[in-house]
């Protein structure tokens, strides 16, 4: 049989130059394929050939560089020249369907040597369906990375995973779709795996991770002036004012600037060079839109795109990903520095509520030898002011330090308008070593708005979970007026708070905050952890730094959210403002002694 003849030493680029035709429907340049038009595609394609020992080919390419067509050439090569079972994975089953109907149908029908190997889809029992194409000696299966079933089944010698950055992190609870698909090729000694994509967010991009595990090839081209080889970088592109038409490239060696007209000659003389050690099995290629052939995407187009995008983060991200083929760095916490916050500190005194504060909450972090307490004021649109922050020294297994906390709870805090506010909701951390003592304290102060909280390590948790009653009586029944414990999605809250600090959006600090406070507040950064092989961001403490100020802030913010649950969200801030202005005191009784049941009416007053 034709399909079973021994494989001749032919590369994908040779096959494409001989047989591939571009249709007028799918291509801007219909006619015979010419690898010379995009010389940088030759090597990636040839590493996919049976003549190469490479098993994994990684292409992190910009849009409009021909990445898609090189994949199609490989498909044609497999069908016509090196048949075997092949799996094509698109991000979703729906996209696989579209690929089958559009790209694949035209690839087959426009290329005679493929058309004669695959029966038309219309014929009955043709072996040609939407998701399976039979050909002599092999079969091509199509599926989506969102279908575990599609990724499992039969062994495949060839696997083509397209746009892997759009793959889900986890498919049907069975883990990473890339690993799942790749398992199917393990039995083939001469397997080939192609992964392609434009990248997405730094540290979250699959294609970047794959590229970093490869030998990291860059396409080096000679400078038209000095001849020095270099790979093209975006910062070297220069233009005048806001005029994209003036775009020229500045050689990083001789400083000479040259126009795009030199590009075809440069591409012809270009070569891929590895920039990292090779394992001999993985070849990685990165290519920006700067290499796009004349007539496709020009340097002027790229400057134009950049000028439109530069002021808008999502547009700029898209530019960086699809034009530069680089990952986008989201610098969440990195822009929130202790020094930066210190510099923006406002002049209000510690212990006073600036204009705008209409609600006070507190967050308490329980440590082995002290309680750290922050009092936060809140106003319209959840703007927050740090009112007070202190450490109450003392062993939390003893009553003394809790007595100090009672004084905080009993304090009336002066507002700018000459009124007084009291803490209406306090969150005390029960997740530390002193859970029992914390519950004991909270139990007697439920009516004063004191609740127990515990941070949840579960990713993506709601900021504040549903409260649950944790006290039971001797019969094992829940005590109605016992301690309520709220689980906090601390990662979620920290992301919110840091987002607001970074954008200078509604968290204000006065003289209550000093150097040490800001150091603690910024003591955590987002780090990566791998869950089922996929990276997730989570907040971790920077080495050996204390973070109570941050924890207290998280708890006080949660207290504000918990308090808000009792109120109509739309009118909450207006109601609180009216109440403050009408001179009505907060319903908390001023007490120096720990409260018992005497504080009845606290909730009903509200």
Binding site for Zn ion (CB under 5 A): 223, 225-226, 251, 253-254, 256
Closer by beta carbon to Zn ion, 237 or else 409: 237
Instruction: Please report how close the Cβ of residue 43 comes to Zn ion at its closest, in angstroms.
Output: 24
Q: What is the DSSP letter of 266?
A: H
The three-state secondary structure class of 154 is: coil
Which residues are CB-neighbours of 554 under 8 A, at least 6 positions away?
Answer: 363, 455, 488, 490, 493, 494, 497
What would the DSSP string read from start to end of 179-203?
HHHHGGGTT-TT-EEEEEE---BTT
Instruction: Please report how close the Cβ of residue 232 comes to Zn ion at its closest, in angstroms.
Output: 12
Q: Can you tell me the distance from the alpha carbon of 517 to that of 350, in angstroms, rounded to the nearest whole number? A: 13
Closer by beta carbon to Zn ion, 127 or else 255: 255
Instruction: In the chain, count H helices and then E strands.
Output: 20, 27
The pair of structure tokens assigned to 195 is: 């992964």
The radius of gyration of the chain from alpha carbons, rounded to an integer in Å, stands at 32
- The owner of tokens 């029944």 is 477
Instruction: Please report how close the Cβ of residue 251 comes to Zn ion at its closest, in angstroms.
Output: 3
Q: Dihedral (C-alpha) 107, 108, 111, 112: value to the nearest 10 degrees?
A: 180
Measured in residues, the chain has a length of 606
Q: What is the DSSP letter of 334?
A: G
Instruction: Please report how close the Cβ of residue 39 comes to Zn ion at its closest, in angstroms.
Output: 20
Closer by beta carbon to Zn ion, 152 or else 262: 262
Closer by beta carbon to Zn ion, 131 or else 258: 258
- The owner of tokens 């920077």 is 542
- In 3D, which of 337, 396, 342 has the Cα closest to residue 364? 396
Closer by beta carbon to Zn ion, 253 or else 308: 253
Instruction: Please report how close the Cβ of residue 254 comes to Zn ion at its closest, in angstroms.
Output: 3
Q: Dihedral (C-alpha) 475, 479, 482, 485: value to the nearest 10 degrees?
A: 90
Instruction: Please report how close the Cβ of residue 282 comes to Zn ion at its closest, in angstroms.
Output: 32
Instruction: Please report how close the Cβ of residue 271 comes to Zn ion at its closest, in angstroms.
Output: 17
Instruction: Please report how close the Cβ of residue 561 comes to Zn ion at its closest, in angstroms.
Output: 59
Closer by beta carbon to Zn ion, 253 or else 529: 253
Instruction: Please report how close the Cβ of residue 231 comes to Zn ion at its closest, in angstroms.
Output: 13
Long-range contacts of 223-228 (CB under 8 A, 24+ apart): 223/251, 223/253, 223/254, 223/256, 223/258, 224/256, 224/258, 224/262, 224/265, 224/266, 225/251, 225/254, 225/256, 225/258, 226/251, 226/253, 226/254, 226/256, 228/252, 228/253, 228/254
Closer by beta carbon to Zn ion, 228 or else 331: 228
Which residues are CB-neighbours of 335 under 8 A, at least 6 positions away?
Answer: 502
Q: What is the DSSP letter of 310?
A: T
- In 3D, which of 44, 317, 42, 305 has the Cα closest to residue 199? 317
Instruction: Please report how close the Cβ of residue 200 comes to Zn ion at its closest, in angstroms.
Output: 33
Query: Could you tell me whether strands 524-531 and 507-509 are parallel, antiparallel, or unpaired per DSSP bridges?
Result: unpaired
Q: Can you tell me the distance from the alpha carbon of 49 to that of 36, in angstroms, rounded to the nearest whole number? A: 18
Closer by beta carbon to Zn ion, 254 or else 276: 254
Closer by beta carbon to Zn ion, 27 or else 225: 225
Closer by beta carbon to Zn ion, 224 or else 465: 224
Span between the terminal Cα atoms of the chain, in Å? 85
Closer by beta carbon to Zn ion, 116 or else 256: 256
Instruction: Please report how close the Cβ of residue 36 comes to Zn ion at its closest, in angstroms.
Output: 24
């Amino acid at each position: 049989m034709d399909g079973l003849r021994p494989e001749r030493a032919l590369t994908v680029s040779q096959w494409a130059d001989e047989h591939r035709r571009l249709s007028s429907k799918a291509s801007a340049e219909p006619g015979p394929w010419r690898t010379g038009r995009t010389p940088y595609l030759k090597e990636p394609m040839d590493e996919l050939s049976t003549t190469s020992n490479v098993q994994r080919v990684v292409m992190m390419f910009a849009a409009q560089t021909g990445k898609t067509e090189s994949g199609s050439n490989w498909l044609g090569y497999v069908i016509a020249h090196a048949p075997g079972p092949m799996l094509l994975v698109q991000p979703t089953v729906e996209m696989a369907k579209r690929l089958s109907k559009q790209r694949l149908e035209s690839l087959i029908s426009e290329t005679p040597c493929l058309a004669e190997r695959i029966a038309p889809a219309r014929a009955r029992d043709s072996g040609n369906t939407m998701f399976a194409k039979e050909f002599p000696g092999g079969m091509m299966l199509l599926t989506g990375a969102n279908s575990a079933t599609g990724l499992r089944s039969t062994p495949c010698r060839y696997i083509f995973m397209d746009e892997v950055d759009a793959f889900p992190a986890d498919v049907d609870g069975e883990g990473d779709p890339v690993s799942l698909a790749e398992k199917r090729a393990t039995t083939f000694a001469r397997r080939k795996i192609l992964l392609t994509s434009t990248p997405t967010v730094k540290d979250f991009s699959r294609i970047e991770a794959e590229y970093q595990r490869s030998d990291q090839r860059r396409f080096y081209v000679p400078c038209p002036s000095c001849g020095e080889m270099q790979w093209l970088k975006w910062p070297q592109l220069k233009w005048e004012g806001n005029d994209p038409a003036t775009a020229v490239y500045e050689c990083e060696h001789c400083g000479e600037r040259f126009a795009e007209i030199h590009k075809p000659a440069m591409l012809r003389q270009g070569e891929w060079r590895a920039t990292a050690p090779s394992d001999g099995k993985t070849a990685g290629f990165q290519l920006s839109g700067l290499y796009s052939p004349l007539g496709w995407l020009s340097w002027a187009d790229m400057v134009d795109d950049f000028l439109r995008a530069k002021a808008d983060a999502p547009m700029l991200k898209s530019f960086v990903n699809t034009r530069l083929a680089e990952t986008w760095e989201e610098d969440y916490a990195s822009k929130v520095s202790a020094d930066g916050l210190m510099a923006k500190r406002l002049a209000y005194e510690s212990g006073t509520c600036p204009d705008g504060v209409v609600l006070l909450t507190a967050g308490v972090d329980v440590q082995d030898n002290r309680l750290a307490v922050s009092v936060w004021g809140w106003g319209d649109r959840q703007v927050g002011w740090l009112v007070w922050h202190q450490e109450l020294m003392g062993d939390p297994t003893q009553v003394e330090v809790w007595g100090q906390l009672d004084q905080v709870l009993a304090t009336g805090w002066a507002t700018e308008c000459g009124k007084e506010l009291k803490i209406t909701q306090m969150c005390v951390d029960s997740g530390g070593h002193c859970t029992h003592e914390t519950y004991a304290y909270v139990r007697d102060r439920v009516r004063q708005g004191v609740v127990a909280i515990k941070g949840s390590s579960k990713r993506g948790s709601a900021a504040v979970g549903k409260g649950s009653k944790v006290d039971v009586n001797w019969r094992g029944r829940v005590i109605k007026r016992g301690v309520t414990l709220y689980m906090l999605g601390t990662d979620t809250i920290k992301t919110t708070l840091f987002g607001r600090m970074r954008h200078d959006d509604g968290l204000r600090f006065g003289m209550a905050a000093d150097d040490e406070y800001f150091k603690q507040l910024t003591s955590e950064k987002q780090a990566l952890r791998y869950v089922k092989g996929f990276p997730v961001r989570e907040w971790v403490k920077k080495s050996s730094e204390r973070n109570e100020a941050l924890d207290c802030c998280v708890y006080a913010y949660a207290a504000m959210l918990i308090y808000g649950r009792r109120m109509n969200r739309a009118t909450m801030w207006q109601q609180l403002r009216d109440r403050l202005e009408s001179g009505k005191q907060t319903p908390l009784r001023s007490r120096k002694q720990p409260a018992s049941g005497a504080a009845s009416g606290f909730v009903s007053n509200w």
